[in-house]
Amino acid sequence: MKNVTLKDVAMKAGVSPSTVSRVVSDDSRISEKTKQKVLKVMNELNYYPNSIARSLANKKTDTIGVIMPSYEEDIFMNPFFQEGLRGISLVTGKNSYDILIATNHEGEKDVDVLKRVIKGNRVDGIILTRSNEKDESIKYLRESNFPFVLIGSCLEYDDIPSVDNDNEKASYELTSLLIKKGRKKIAFIGGELHSVVIKNRFEGYKKALNDNNIKFNHEYLISDKFSEESGYKLTDKLLKLNDIPDSIIVADDLMSLGAMKKIKEEKYKVPKDIMLASFNNSILAKYSNPSITSIDINSVQLGKRACEKLFNILNNNKKLENNKEIVEYKIIERDSTKII
Amino acid sequence: MKNVTLKDVAMKAGVSPSTVSRVVSDDSRISEKTKQKVLKVMNELNYYPNSIARSLANKKTDTIGVIMPSYEEDIFMNPFFQEGLRGISLVTGKNSYDILIATNHEGEKDVDVLKRVIKGNRVDGIILTRSNEKDESIKYLRESNFPFVLIGSCLEYDDIPSVDNDNEKASYELTSLLIKKGRKKIAFIGGELHSVVIKNRFEGYKKALNDNNIKFNHEYLISDKFSEESGYKLTDKLLKLNDIPDSIIVADDLMSLGAMKKIKEEKYKVPKDIMLASFNNSILAKYSNPSITSIDINSVQLGKRACEKLFNILNNNKKLENNKEIVEYKIIERDSTKII
DNA sequence: CTGTTAGCGCCTTCAA
DNA sequence: TTGAAGGCGCTAACAG
């Protein structure tokens, strides 16, 4: 069963293909009468435009590419990405766009995926969902001048359109909260250190210590992968120090669950012996026992704003809006930092 | 800066376009020598094929469509979809495919999205991530004879290529577990009742009751949306009955957290007063307090197998393999059903 | 093994 | 307001 083409519609309606094309793309210069006639035939024939052919002709795909972690990475499962995707899909839907999730083909590095997708004309724009130090993808996108928005921040360039929380400030506040509660031996557990988010959070932590005349103890900074298991292992290290911390800032809820598990196993009490404060405020933090104080980073909003910004760029709505947009965070204080 | 085309490569290499095309598609009937020559030029010119043009010419997009819940639905946030997507992306990557997430454009119903994507030639195949009773999407896909695989089951047709757990059996086992522990007043909290998964799980529950000569109490079956909040509210209803249940089967971890919260608020003890057993075994179940017995449905595997099945269909690897594939589940028993 | 010739289905000048 | 013609970049016969 062959697909109905624009030509078929044209024939049956007794008009030229270009006329039908104009109806499809809602061109104004066309009489209401022929428009209705064509629409009727389109309906009768159950015609749908071939979007591949359209894309080829007008160089527009009505698709944006979202770069997620590759399936091998633990972080793929972080609720953050799902929430961000939800925000993005809300905006793409409103703009009649769809989303392409490019996956790493055999042997492809992240930049290769980008190149293939962009040079292959598969998308009109890109959303990056995270950033690393000296990020190759950002570098490539910037140099190729392809429309994109970063969820996160970029350390090297100042002209990257991006949406992010003020992670440094959030971390500063979170650390200050612990200090206010009388804690001085505050450790920091992070995910991969080349990740910009982690760097920012670490900076805020260090600054808070500094501003409160607490000297930074190198033993108290440890980091590894972004997983629950890694939270567990890192905490184990902390608890084996001669001078164990009285509180921990953890860069992600998932990791903090691992941390909590280890702390309990070693018979320490949260928050009495060790306070715990974390980031991302996924549902995990709320239902942990004790519940975990966490920074709500509003991931859905991050995705939403990133996508809106991308559409602004695509539509050339001048870049009057600031390149770097900040989404508000909120400290959700829970039992893990409440003195009882 | 115009993109380098196949033609440019052909000229510079001194061969015809078709020769270059053959190199791109790794056609066998071409001499190693010219192949190398062309590859060299492709490299020099930094050529990438325009995949839109390819698709138009050969009617193949190297993309599969994954139908997720729309952004308005609470269930969008269920970890299940993220895990399934991870499994899918593993397989698409291996097959050099990408994933299109079609979003509901303004005013589009679910079937409309399907039609647009399929008739628009945007994908080679579709993966449906859930199913409802009298599912319009399934009906449409089946009738249009478009390659697709369902993660889940279909009640109406027997010839739908699908991958699913044996949810009825799983639920039967879970219920039997509670019965074995001496519970007789077992309630069932489900998500939307038109969802096939819920129906299956409910059937298993009922069958287990039946086989154990426990009469099914209609007051003990309640259901609503697939959210934490709905779990909370539904449990509230249960606890207001004259004869409150001594255990609850909950159709999803997220809901069971809501249930747990309500139970605690009303000062009942889990598992002593009320046992709780749930489905999906997301990390939430593990870290709840008390931890929740849950069925591990192996979502990543569901996604993976669904995608592999889809590729089998696309490659005409005869349908020798059974249409309905079952992925094993596992009961993970935790504190919420352990008598202490 | 390689080149030539037509399209794939649509959009976009340009002319009428 | 409409139609004709050419082209988007690539592939698929068909020759040779």
Q: What is the pLDDT of residue A339?
A: 83
- Tokens 């997507």 identify what position? B85
Three-class HEC string of A95-143: CCCEEEECCCCCCCCHHHHHHHHHHCCCCCEEEECCCECCCHHHHHHHH
pLDDT, tens digit (0-9, with 9 covering 90-100), for A151-172: 999 999 999 999 999 999 999 9
- Alpha-carbon distance values, A215 to A185, A220, A276, B142 (Å): 9, 11, 20, 67
CATH number of A6-58: 1.10.260.40
Is it the case that residue A73 has pLDDT exceeding 90?
Answer: no
Return the beta strands (E) in chain A as ranges.
63-67, 98-101, 125-128, 148-151, 162-164, 186-190, 221-223, 247-250, 275-279, 293-296, 324-326, 330-332
CA distance A243 to A40: 79
**How far is A330 from chain B, CA to nearest CA, in Å?**
20
Is it the case that residue A318 has pLDDT exceeding 60?
Answer: no
Mean local confidence (pLDDT), A167-182: 97
CA distance A251 to A296: 12
Per-residue pLDDT of chain B (340 residues; tens, 9 = 90+): 578 999 999 999 999 999 999 999 988 888 888 999 999 999 999 999 999 999 999 999 999 999 999 988 888 989 999 999 999 999 999 999 999 999 999 989 999 999 999 999 999 999 999 999 999 999 999 999 999 999 999 999 999 999 999 999 999 999 999 999 999 999 999 999 999 999 999 999 999 999 999 999 999 999 999 889 999 999 999 999 999 999 999 999 999 999 999 999 999 999 999 999 999 999 889 988 899 999 999 999 999 999 999 999 998 765 556 789 999 999 999 999 998 6
- Alpha-carbon distance values, B39 to A116, A271, B4, B19, B46 (Å): 16, 63, 14, 11, 10
Tell me the chain B residues in contact with residue A284 when contact means C-beta distances shorter than 8 Å.
Answer: 283-284, 287
* Inter-axis angle of helices A79-94 and A299-314, nearest 10: 40
Is it the case that residue A184 has pLDDT exceeding 90?
Answer: yes
Closest CB to B49 among A1, A82, A120: A120
Share of chain A above pLDDT 90, in %: 86
Greatest Cα pair distance, chain B, in angstroms, is: 87
pLDDT, tens digit (0-9, with 9 covering 90-100), for A91-124: 999 999 999 999 999 989 999 999 999 999 999 9
Q: 0.85 cut: is pTM over it?
A: yes
CA distance A43 to A37: 10
Instruction: Give residue limits of the domains in chain A.
Output: 6-58, 63-165+300-330, 167-297+331-337
Residues 6+ positions from B317 with CB-CB distance below 8 Å: none
A324-326 β-sheet, strand order: A324-326, A162-164, A148-151, A125-128, A63-67, A98-101, B98-101, B63-67, B125-128, B148-151, B162-164, B324-326
Is it the case that residue A291 has pLDDT exceeding 90?
Answer: yes
Q: pLDDT-derived band of residue A249, with 50, 70 and 90 as boundaries? A: very high
Q: What is the pLDDT of residue B289?
A: 87
Nearest C-alpha neighbor of A2 from the set A42, A58, A39, A48 = A48
* Token pair recorded at residue A336: 């893990």
Q: What is the pLDDT of residue B244?
A: 95
Q: Is it true that A6-58 and A63-165+300-330 share their CATH fold? A: no
Residue A195's beta-bridge partner residues?
A: A132
Strand-strand pairing, B330-332 and B293-296? antiparallel
For residue A83, the chain B residue with the least C-alpha distance is B77
CB B104 within 8 A of CB B70: yes
Count of alpha carbons within 13 Å of A247, Cβ hemisphere only?
A: 28
Residues 6+ positions from B151 with CB-CB distance below 8 Å: B84, B127, B128, B129, B130, B162, B163, B164, B302, B303, B306
What phi and psi values does residue B66 have, to the nearest 5 degrees? -115, 120
- Does the CA dihedral B242-B248-B252-B255 come out positive or negative? positive
Q: How much of chain A is helix, strand and coil, in % rounded to 5?
A: 45, 15, 40
Tell me the chain A residues in contact with residue B76 when contact means C-beta distances shorter than 8 Å.
Answer: 82, 86
Q: What is the pLDDT of residue A10?
A: 93
Is it the case that residue A321 has pLDDT exceeding 70?
Answer: no
Q: What is the pLDDT of residue B26?
A: 87
DSSP tally for chain A: helices H, then strands E: 13, 12
- Looking at domain A63-165+300-330, does it have CATH number 3.40.50.720? no
Q: Which CATH architecture has domain A167-297+331-337?
A: 3-Layer(aba) Sandwich (3.40)
Within 10 angstroms of residue A110's Cβ, the number of other Cβ atoms is 18
For residue A49, the chain B residue with the least C-alpha distance is B120
Tell me the chain A residues in contact with residue B117 when contact means C-beta distances shorter than 8 Å.
Answer: 98
Residue nearest to nucleotide D11 (CA to C1'): B57
Q: What is the pLDDT of residue A54?
A: 96
How far in angstroms lies nucleotide C6's C1' from the CA of residue B5? 19
CA distance B52 to B11: 22
